[in-house]
Chains A and B, each alone.
Chain A
Amino acid sequence: MLRTEKLSKRIDTFSLRDISIEVGKGDYYVLLGRSGAGKTQLLELICGLMNPDRGRIYLEGEDITYKRVQDRGIGMVFQDLSLFPHYSVKDNIMYPLRVRKMDLKERVDRVQRAAAGMNITDLLLRRPDTLSGGEKQRVALARTLVTDPKILLLDEPMASVDASLKDNIRRLLRRLNRNGQTIIHVTHDFGEAISLASRVGVIHNGRIIQEGTPLDVFNHPVNRFVARYAGIKNFFRVTFITSYKSASAISEKRTRFRLPRGEYPSSGLLIIGSSEVLLSRQGASGFGINNIRGVIDDIVPSPTGFEITVNAGDYFYADITHREMEESRFVTGEKVYVSFRPESLRIVGNGEDIKEY
């Protein structure tokens, strides 16, 4: 449906380089990257607010690289929502319909339908400055959706929404997508990507560094940056040691990891999810399991329980639930075992890493 081919654009000292992405009809494509990565600029290129220096953009097979913004059929909701402050909610939503010189009855019909779809019918006569972040978000979505865009571009749509309302917006976006709306959604939050995306593209320093399903990206991050984005904190730069009957790895801090048998490069990065790390006072039993002794360095409450940091030469991060904490009553300074199965360890990319993070 939408294909970009080696899009490049230089903006002052920053540049987007060779961006090639493909978004199929009905896809929910999440562009993941931290601020300054070039996400918004890429959206502006796609919707035509900027022209690229090089590369092409195709929409439904048509080359739209230099087509006017107004004629592209692409809707965009900006991060700050950019509602017109001098218009009521109704007039905001009606704006694109007036532009299209639709007759009054159809305009009113469409506004009513869009408002009902976004559950904002009771807000139609209000001014944008009297709305909450979540309400503004719905108005901005309604204003864009009345134009029936072929693709909906969303720039950090959760940014102006209270944490408690994020679920609502997420549900709304999922529903839109289920109804066939193709969406490109820009965010810095991997959780958002996991919960919404059918495909994820990770953008960093103006380049797409990994693309795939959220699970692919989570399970097989190509480098430490992506892994960290995926919420993984346990990283170990290791040297692999393999023999015909066993495989292991030794970190720079001399921690030894048992690995499943297999082929390994000579060195690389090992990662393990915090939820796959178990803590105990006596160590876990099981064939081949890794038991590493360390001291609890810090215990920090997290939304689901606690995150415990263990200093074992290398630092390990383990997530434990409230219930587990109540049973074990870990305290800082206590000696514990960090345990995990060899199969839980993953190698990042092909052993290479971007060092700048």
Chain B
Amino acid sequence: MKGHTLFNWIFTILASLVLLFIIAPLAGMFFDSSFSEVRTTAADPAVRRSVWFTLAIAFASTLFFAVGAVPLAWIMARKKFPLKRVVQGIIDLPVVLPHTAAGIALLGFISREGALGGAAQKAGILLVNNGAGIALAMAFVSLPFLINAARDGFAAVSERTEKAALTLGASQTRIFFTVSLPQAWRSVVSGFIMMFARGMSEFGAVVIIAYHPMIAPVLIYDRFNTYGISAARPASIIFILVALLFFVLFRVLATERRVLFKREDDASD
């Protein structure tokens, strides 16, 4: 930092304290656990199952809801309509709700007596106490991250490039997939990653919907309640490491847009 003024010093110290506050508990947890403890826990089938289950459900939930969330984000970025601010408020609502309260609300909706739960049961699907219900709980609390990031991405795309594509003969659908989405791609993927990350770390809403099958945050809580902190710690470390690994992996993938947006003519011309 240039010019070691008092201002710079104070800001650096304050910033460092906040960073330390984030790093210290995590680092402490790593130092307090022995490698053998972590290795033993990693070999525990219940832990493995739980971690993979959490990742898979969070990913599936994000992917499933992205189908609707991305168009909603585009509408929020491009269209003017009455009560748009109210709609934006509704989108942001899950962020400010206590997650257990969100879980209770969702439970009413997806239980056998609820509107969605009743309909699903008629189709032979039980939403409470299974993966589908957990996915819904994860999505409920994490959707705003995807919608808002994607909305900002679409808003940043020059509307004129979309208009130019219209004058060049492209349909609206084609424009969305070839002009709007590729330009907003980074923001959409970033939102996707945030939703995925937020979803897999969700505890409050999920625990109301389904204690079993156990997602990793519930398993950690269960170990803590049953055996104490020393049993919960290695499971936490494993989950954090796996989550970080996927987080980094997605980030790397997201920066290489062509992996997912390969043009139809790349191979031929």
- Chain A residues proximal to chain B, CB less than 8 Å: 44, 47, 49, 69-70, 74-76, 78, 80, 82-86, 91, 94-96, 98-100, 104, 107-108, 143-144, 147
Interface presence of B19 (CB below 8 A):
no
Contacts of A83 in B (CB 8 A): 161
Contacts of B265 in A (CB 8 A): 91, 94, 98, 104
- Bound: A47/B163 CA distance, A: 10
**CB <8 Å contact, B179 and A69:** no
Q: If the complex has contacts A86-B183, A91-B263, A104-B268, are A78 and B166 also in contact, measured as CB distance less than 8 A? A: no
Contacts of A74 in B (CB 8 A): 167
List 7 additional contacts besides A75-B167, A108-B269; criterion CB under 8 Å.
A49-B166, A85-B183, A94-B265, A96-B169, A98-B265, A99-B170, A104-B269
Q: If the complex has contacts A49-B163, A104-B269, A108-B269, are A84 and B179 also in contact, measured as CB distance less than 8 A? A: yes
A-B pairs with beta carbons under 8 Å apart, 15 shown: A47-B167, A49-B163, A49-B166, A70-B171, A75-B167, A75-B168, A80-B158, A82-B158, A84-B164, A86-B182, A94-B265, A98-B264, A100-B169, A108-B269, A144-B168
Which chain B residues (237-268) contact chain A, with CB distance < 8 Å?
257, 263-265, 268
Contacts of A108 in B (CB 8 A): 269
The 8 Å CB contact of B164, one of A82, A91, A100, A104, is A82
- Bound: A84/B261 CA distance, A: 15
Interface size, chain B (Cβ < 8 Å): 23
**CB <8 Å contact, B182 and A69:** no
**Nearest B-chain residue to A76, judged by Cβ:** B167
Contacts of B75 in A (CB 8 A): none
Which chain B residues (126-172) contact chain A, with CB distance < 8 Å?
158, 160-161, 163-171
**Nearest B-chain residue to A72, judged by Cβ:** B167
- Bound: A119/B170 CA distance, A: 26
- How far does the Cβ of A76 sit from chain B's closest Cβ, in whole Å? 5
**CB <8 Å contact, B163 and A147:** no
Q: Select the residue from A74, A91, A95 with max chain B CB neighbours within 10 A.
A: A95
- How far does the Cβ of A75 sit from chain B's closest Cβ, in whole Å? 7
Contacts of B269 in A (CB 8 A): 104, 107-108
- Bound: A100/B169 CA distance, A: 8
Contacts of A49 in B (CB 8 A): 163, 166-167
Q: Select the residue from B164, B167, B169, B263 with max chain A CB neighbours within 10 A.
A: B167
- How far does the Cβ of A247 sit from chain B's closest Cβ, in whole Å? 54
- Bound: A99/B164 CA distance, A: 13
